[in-house]
């Protein structure tokens, strides 16, 4: 099974050494560890291999005017407006997280003529799309805490109280981060 993971790295992280930094941060959660028998029962082992972006490449929209040095794997389609640039992560100041949320809500079907934007079910659906646009399968904080619904390794169900609690916690955590903090979208396999 593959799932997206957002890894949060401290503001002082050197992006030119990203592969080594990521390997160190991810190591405690490696299913291939030799000391698995010695781990506490609540230690989540969450991946057997991973890659930056990979199947989920281009997850983050790039903020207009972002510095290339602040981005991880940036790309822009030939002839596309810079507003269409995407990347696999970078410093929060270079990522357009609000656009990611707005686009998630915008991709819902437009309400019919009979249903107005004030229709509570439509408003609730749009808000849920916004809330779930960034928290993905799991979030690994820069403090080394693995956030996921109900203590499982990653999102398997996108509904229910455990998922709602994860989304609320993950959004509150991500929204409180400093603009120099780094987010990396990682494609994990387990």
Q: Residue 113's pLDDT is what?
A: 44
Q: What is the DSSP string of 48-111?
A: SEEEESGGGTT-EEBPTT--GGGEES-B--TT--GGG-EESEEEGGGB-HHHHHHHHHHTSPPP
Class of residue 161 by CB neighbours under 10 A (exposed 0-12, middle 13-18, buried 19+): exposed
pLDDT tens by residue, 51-105: 899 999 999 999 988 998 999 998 875 555 556 799 999 999 999 999 999 988 8
Does the structure show a pLDDT above 50 at 126? yes
Computed over every residue of the chain, the mean pLDDT equals: 82
Q: Could you give the CA distance from residue 89 to residue 13 in angstroms, rounded to a whole number?
A: 13
Does the structure show a pLDDT above 90 at 155? no
CA geometry: angle 64, 65, 69, nearest 5 deg: 115
Stretch 143-172: mean pLDDT: 80
Q: Residue 11's pLDDT is what?
A: 94
């Amino acid at each position: 099974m593959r799932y997206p993971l957002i890894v949060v790295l401290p503001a002082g992280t050197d992006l030119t050494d990203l592969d080594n930094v990521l390997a160190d941060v991810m190591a405690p959660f490696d299913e291939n560890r030799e000391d698995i028998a010695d781990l506490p029962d609540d230690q989540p082992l969450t991946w057997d291999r991973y890659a930056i972006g990979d199947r989920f490449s281009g997850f983050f929209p790039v903020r207009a005017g972002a510095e290339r040095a602040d981005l991880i794997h940036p790309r822009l389609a030939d002839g596309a407006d810079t507003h269409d640039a995407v990347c696999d992560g970078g410093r929060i100041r270079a990522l357009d997280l609000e656009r990611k949320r707005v686009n998630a809500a915008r991709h819902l079907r437009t309400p019919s003529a009979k249903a107005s934007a004030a229709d509570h079910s439509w408003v609730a659906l749009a808000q849920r799309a916004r809330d779930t646009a960034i928290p993905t399968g799991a979030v690994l904080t820069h403090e080394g805490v693995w956030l996921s619904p109900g203590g499982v390794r990653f999102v398997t169900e996108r509904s229910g109280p455990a998922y709602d609690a994860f989304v609320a916690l993950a959004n509150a955590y991500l929204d409180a981060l400093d603009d120099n903090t780094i987010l990396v979208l990682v494609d994990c396999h387990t």
